Amino acid sequence: MKLTVIGHWGGFPGPGEASSGYLFQKNGYNLLVDCGSAVLSHLQSYVQIKDLHAVLISHYHHDHIADIGPLHYGRLVSGMAEEGVPLLPIYGHTGDSEGFNRLTYKNVSKGISYDPFHPLRIGPFKIEFLKTNHPAECYAFRISDGESSVVYTADSSYKKELIPFAKEADLLLTECNLYAGQDGGGAGHMTSLDAGAIAKHAGVKECILTHLPHFGKHEDLLTQAKTIYEGPIRLAAKGLTWSVN
Ligand SMILES: [Zn+2]
Ligand SMILES: [Zn+2]
């Protein structure tokens, strides 16, 4: 599978960039995970809106769903310009019915609830779920294609259950919204040391830090995480790709 980072900012997008959005591709199938602010604009550098097959949403904070409305309009207009643009499935949890109800739009998209206790099949991908520690109900995803697996933490403060959940994943795509010494418990976010600890103890093959903060020097996040995790580690960036096979 191939992963492309569409947006990597926490909270709101930096200039010319986007908040949370990740494109997973395999054998021509295009799955968008989270659809934050400015994601729709940047997504089009990699795939046409009409060619998205499905969307998967971790939770209903603005920085993860702000562009759902524009996505609806994008599909609507694509369907006017060309026949055969199918109904877009958007998978989300039903713990927040107001959030979930925003996923369905006319005959353009349909919100589909996922059951976090059962793996979900979306195209070539199998998705497993873990509820995170976050003020809004939120799920981490383990996304596998039978050959490799990526664990995306979505938003969470440190949670030890993320370690077995991410065990020996090919990639840990972990939020890292805070620097060493900050307290993420109340905000529901991880520090660089938290992220590094999960990567180390889960024994993941590679790590990418994402959901980056709008303060401090991001290089420091990397330096701090590296004091714990010794494997390959990078900062997320617009257009950064990772792939196996
Ligand atoms: Zn967020
Ligand atoms: Zn959040």
The per-residue pLDDT for range 80-104, each reduced to its tens digit, is: 999 999 999 999 999 999 999 999 9
Compute the distance from residue 191 Cα to the ligand 1 centre, in Å. Answer: 14
Tokens matching residue 88: 């877009």
Amino acid at 159: K
Please write the tens of the pLDDT for every residue from 1-56: 999 999 999 999 999 999 999 999 999 999 999 999 999 999 999 999 999 999 99
Q: What angle do CA 133, 137, 138 make, to 5 degrees?
A: 70
The domain segmentation of the chain, as residue ranges, is: 2-243
Question: What's the CA gap between 230 and 189, in Å, rounded?
Answer: 22
CA 208 from centre of chain? 12
Q: CA-CA distances (angstroms) from residue 110 to 68, 149, 199?
A: 12, 27, 35
Alpha-carbon distance of 78 to 12, in angstroms, equals: 27
* Dist. CA 61 → ligand 1 center (Å): 6
Topology of the domain covering 2-243: Metallo-beta-lactamase; Chain A (3.60.15)
Residue 244 has a pLDDT of: 87
At 132, list the tokens. Answer: 């995170």
Angle between helices 192-202 and 218-226 (to 10 degrees): 40
Percent of the chain scoring above 70 in pLDDT: 100
Query: How far apart are the C-alpha atoms of 57 and 65, rounded to whole Å?
Result: 7
Report CA(18)–ligand 2 centroid distance (Å).
15
Q: Which ligand is nearest to the CA of 133?
A: 2
Q: What is the pLDDT of residues 211-240, one digit of tens each?
A: 999 999 999 999 999 999 999 999 999 999
Name the pairing type of β-strands 149-152 and 171-175.
parallel
CA 4 to the chain's CA centroid: 11
In the predicted model, what is the mean pLDDT of the chain? Answer: 97
Instruction: Enter the tokens of residue 198.
Output: 């999960």
Length of the chain equals 245
- Compute, in angstroms, the gap from residue 62 CA to the centroid of ligand 1: 8
* Cα(23)–Cα(5) distance, integer angstroms: 6
Helix (H) or strand (E) holding 111: strand 109-113
**Ligand nearest the Cα atom of residue 137:** 2
- The rounded Å distance from CA 164 to ligand 1 centre is 23
**H or E, element range at 71:** helix 68-81
